[in-house]
Structure 1
Amino acid sequence: MNDISTVTPDDLTQLRRCVELAREGLEAGDEPFGSLLVDAQGTVRFTDRNRVAGGDDTRHPELEIARWAAAHLTPAERRDAVVYTSGEHCPMCSAAHAWVGLGTIVYAASTAQLTGWLREWGVAPGPVAPLPVQAVAPGVAVRGPAPELEHEVRALHARLHGVAGA
């Protein structure tokens, strides 16, 4: 299923909160990623940010959302929920999202954007291939990126990597 489309004004409101969470993460000494889970009625049910600074590189907010949803939502509620995130899910989080049966993912910045920025700044690639969500979980609908937030997300990652003026 390839459902990539433009984000809506409502999506932008949620994505702005994700960027705030990413900023909170960066200010706490973590990587700048933030995510939230919204149910079918539009209620935010769970929020989190990256927490990998403690040494567990699996502490991504999208994985925490999948774990929380599996424990607290019915399969139907998970299917109808939307996960908003500052950056497109990594392969680990994409797989967890699909296995738990969560609905649409809406992201501010894509994997392709992030890997392009990192390459431009000379940052070595991570240990996992930077695959888009649908390469890992082809049945998951996605919307993004959000051009309105690209500069802000890029600036957070530039700060993380000590890149001036990016």
Structure 2
Amino acid sequence: MVSDPELKYLHRCVELATEALEDGDEPFGSVLVGPEGTVLAEDRNRVAGGDHTRHPEFELARWSAAHLSPAERAAATVYTSGEHCPMCAAAHAWVGLGRIVYVSSSAQLTEWLAEWGVPAPPVRPLPVNEVAPGVVVEGPVPGLAAQVRELQRRFHGRA
């Protein structure tokens, strides 16, 4: 269950996703938080330049591997605007990060894209636990999912 104090991190994820959209990128944002509530790192999508591995969740996994001990990684939480894709879920598990809390699910995004007639992505949008079964995952967060849907709608240019 997502606690009220955690909502500020999810709101920041939506802000980062908005920044990405305003910069011409896909609207995704993520925040890495330590066990005491300290924001350790944050990022947003940066795939517009052509490198489609520049997802914020992947960047946070790489950052944590370079800057945190295994115990610190395991105690951290990744908050994100959208559920990790399979690439990001694998990176998360391989570096040993802790819990994931997401605003909108891969299933929701898939449904929205189909509704708007957007072609499927090149990688199947699997739930995190199908890729990384040991990771604790929470989401979606209904109160914010509508905001993420609107960002996705704007990115894909649909009414």
Specify the TM-score bucket, using the shorter chain as the normaliser: over 0.9
Distance 1:12 1:89 in 2: 18
Provide Cα deviations, 1:51-102, integer angstroms capped at 9, x if missing partner: 0000000000000000000000000000000000000000000000000000
Where does residue 3 of structure 1 map in the other structure? none
Where does residue 71 of structure 1 map in the other structure? 66
Identity %: 68
Where does residue 136 of structure 2 map in the other structure? 141
1:19 pairs with 14, 35, 58, which one?
Answer: 14
3-state SS of paired residue (2:63): helix
C-alpha RMSD of matched pairs (Å): 0.6
Q: Is the 8 A contact 1:105 1:141 kept in 2?
A: yes
Larger RCO, structures 1/2 (Cα 8 Å, 6+ apart): 1
The number of aligned residues is: 159
TM-score by length of 2: 0.99
How is 1:1-166 mapped onto 2 (pairs within 5 angstroms)? 6-164=1-159
Q: Is the 8 A contact 1:36 1:83 kept in 2?
A: yes
TM-score by length of 1: 0.94
Structure 2 unaligned spans of 5+ = none
Deviation at 1:11, TM superposition (A): 2.2
Q: Is the 8 A contact 1:7 1:145 kept in 2?
A: no
Distance 2:138 2:100 in 1: 6
Provide Cα deviations, 1:27-47, integer angstroms capped at 9, x if missing partner: 000000000100011100001
Structure 1 unaligned spans of 5+ = 1-5
Distance 2:126 2:3 in 1: 24
